[in-house]
Structure 1
């Protein structure tokens, strides 16, 4: 049989795979509900398997099945709007990890428990913020319309801001990159690429912010936060891979590596975006509380 993928170079494969994934993810994001839950659940499942595969190369033996069960519970509870029960699953999952180590005697004991608990958070807890962000202020969405300050609008802003972070980082890094950003962890990433990606991401956030009717300064701050934590998430996954001596988290996505290689930018940026939009855009109560505290502090020192 002819290997169809072999007919394309790596760049073409990246474009084809990236476009297909992007369209599918956008469809699930727009639909929300069960489609988005199933998408996040699948990413959590595959991502957890890739995470365990990476750590096994380092000599650790986290409990894959326990991680998958906990992560799927996280996703289902979040989709049911019972995120308050996620810490309960995390608590009993941690107890379960210790219990399994005691029963099976897997060494290294501490490392296996620690990497299992990290798998709960990295593979399940953090991805759940995609669902939380989609649920944010989501009432009364019209057909092919985006309500002002809705979770759908915020998630689209997040998606395109991260996309432009990657595009800008690649373009500016390829053309102007000279100074390594993190030479030990990710030698190919450059400071110039990071700056270029950040600028393009912020401009994208301003544009999407205008479309979804949030204030320009709110979009500016959102863009800065998202692009910063997207790059941190990327470097964090590179740190894990570098320590384990692997190049990609897997080979399930032609031209891109594994699912974690595509999702890493979202793992840190989505929770940050959720907290920012929830507490500083949808509701300004935290901002008012902070200003009130600052005013009292200034009065206390006589200013």
Structure 2
């Protein structure tokens, strides 16, 4: 099959899995979110390991526990304590490495593990928690559809009309025209969804604006990582698309913003 066909089939499978998981919710959404989060975390640690040794096993175990605690409704105070304890475990590992091998990378190892958990696992934990709310299904459905609409419109408008680059040293193909197209796509999707789901439009328009801006910035975050380590993709787990972190980078910041607005500010 051609690269386009492979990419299309992989993309369709991803969409079906996400929409099915959001619709069913409960344990299916928890399992699906855990798989994506931990696969993305593994790819992040692989990128970080180009700079320094990183105890991937510690990060993956703690990441799995964090998502499980979020699913079980534990307070974030418990999760923060776990994050702190992870730092002490990592430092203990580095003490052992220094004693036995005469070398260590305590600061980088600790910061690498913690940054991965904060950057990737926490946002997916937010999605697990949001799905358990009475409005969670509609909210997550809208979040993903607006994010995908933003991605598609940004690509199409940028490819057709893009002339003004705004992050050339990070992602040369990104243009202001494409950025504006992505924002319009997300807003338009939010308005349509608010009408179809019979929801007051103002909160959904706010979500569309946040997703339209935040998602594109989130894409730049991951592009920055890849530029610094000199790779094209974060991984190869998704045929035609690269890695999980490549496909779900926009969701990380979007889920955080939506959790902040709908769970913290408007609750």
One fold, TM greater than 0.5? yes
Q: Given the alignment of the two structures, is residue 222 of structure 1 paired with residue 219 of structure 2, yes or no?
A: no
Shift of 1:13: 1.9
Counterpart among 20, 23, 28 of residue 21 in structure 2 = 28
Map 1:181-200 onto structure 2 (within 5 A): 181-200=166-185
Asked whether the equivalents of residues 52 and 61 of structure 1 are also in contact (C-alpha less than 8 Å), the reply is no
- Could you list the per-position Cα deviations for residues 61-112 of structure 1 after superposition, in whole angstroms to 9, with x for gaps in the alignment? 2210000011000111011111432112111112112221122135433222
Map 1:7-156 onto structure 2 (within 5 A): 7-8=1-2, 10-57=3-50, 59-84=51-76, 85-105=78-98, 107-136=104-133, 138=134, 150-156=135-141
Between the aligned partners of 1:22 and 1:128, the Cα distance in structure 2 is 20
The residue that corresponds to 1:203 in the other structure is 188
The number of residues matched between the two structures is 262
Q: Select the structure with the greater relative contact order (CA < 8 A; seq sep ≥ 6).
A: 2
Structure 1 vs Structure 2 CA RMSD = 1.4
For structure 1, which segment, 45-54 or 195-204, has the greater mean C-alpha deviation from structure 2 after superposition?
A: 45-54
Between the aligned partners of 1:83 and 1:233, the Cα distance in structure 2 is 26
Q: Could you state the TM-score of these two structures normalised by the residue count of structure 2?
A: 0.93
Of the two, which has the highest radius of gyration?
Answer: 1
Between the aligned partners of 1:78 and 1:203, the Cα distance in structure 2 is 32
- Could you list the per-position Cα deviations for residues 21-57 of structure 1 after superposition, in whole angstroms to 9, with x for gaps in the alignment? 1001111111111111111111122112111111122
5+ long unaligned stretches in structure 2: none
Shift of 1:280: 5.0
Q: Could you state the TM-score of these two structures normalised by the residue count of structure 1?
A: 0.83
Between the aligned partners of 1:184 and 1:156, the Cα distance in structure 2 is 34
Shift of 1:218: 1.6
The residue that corresponds to 2:149 in the other structure is 164
Shift of 1:12: 2.2
Asked whether the equivalents of residues 198 and 228 of structure 1 are also in contact (C-alpha less than 8 Å), the reply is yes
